[in-house]
Copies of this chain bind each other. A is one copy, B any other.
Amino acid sequence: MDIATIVGIGGGFTLMIVALLLAGSHGSGQGLSFGQFIDPPAAIMVLGGGLCVVMTSVPLAKFLTLPKMILKLIRNQSDDLPSLVRQIVTLSELARRDGLLALERHVPELTNHSLAIGVQMAVDGTRTEIIQQIMRTEMKAEEARHHVGKRMFDMMGRCGPAFGMIATLLGLILMLGNLDDPDSIGPSMAMALVGTLYGAAMANMICMPCAEKLAYLSHQEQLSKEIVLQGVMAIQAGDSPRVVEQKLSAYLPASVMREAA
């Protein structure tokens, strides 16, 4: 588990409050009122509007995976690639020594789902091209599904500033229609600007970096599946364990492999 995502989002909002306290105490002697920054209509517009945009742009079933994706961002897990490489090298040693069929009883021990399936297919004697086609298709299809997930956050990020502006415009138009009380212009305008603030914060502090993180996690999963695919191919081809290790280590930075050794 990696806490960077939560720390990053939480840290951003903490810094915003620190900046406010500093600016509030600095600018004038009087206390800072956080109430100035709480505007429920703007929050409804920015957050609700963003969710509506996402709902419009994907099927309902996809939209309902949003909580699962947020969970994924919080759990923030990715495979331990060096140990995956070592595991495959060990399998290749077994296959060299005892034959491909000897791997069958190790399949249930494999925690990596793709590796288990790939090795099972190899043990079953499925032809190399078919194993490769099936595993590649799975990778491509999964990548496309992950891409839709990333797009949902992208959409919210791209729309955030626009919905912030819409909230601000609603406030400005209401204010301009009632200019009778000059004293209320300042606070009304302040309230209108809070919408822009919400939009910018939601887009830049949450949605955009989360979309980026999902892309990163998806890339890591693809990398892990690529290593599994190349490993299964190499085992089936009967490559020597040293060659298998060289082939698979090439996917990882030299420093990581050295550390892991």
Contacts and interface: CB of A to CB of B under 8 A. Distances in A.
Interface stretch (A88-96, A103-111, A244-252): A244-252
A224 to B, nearest CB: 12
A55 interface: yes
| Count of chain copies | 5
Contacts of A48: 11-12, 15
B4 A63 contact: yes
Interface in A147-193: 148, 151, 155, 158-159, 161-163, 165-167, 169-179, 184-191, 193
A27 B223 CA distance: 54
Q: Which residue among A167, A223, A246 has the maximum number of chain B CB atoms within 10 Å of its CB?
A: A246
Interface residues of A, number: 113
B178 A30 contact: yes
A7 interface: yes
A14 to B, nearest CB: 9
Contacts of A243: 126, 130
A191 B27 contact: yes
A4 B200 contact: no
A28 B175 CA distance: 10
Interface of A: 2-5, 7-9, 11-12, 15-16, 18-20, 22-24, 26-28, 30, 32-33, 36-37, 40-42, 44-45, 48-49, 51-61, 63, 76, 78, 121, 126, 130, 133-135, 137-138, 141-142, 144-145, 148, 151, 155, 158-159, 161-163, 165-167, 169-179, 184-191, 193-194, 196-197, 200-201, 203-206, 208-210, 212-213, 216, 219, 223, 243, 246-247, 250-253
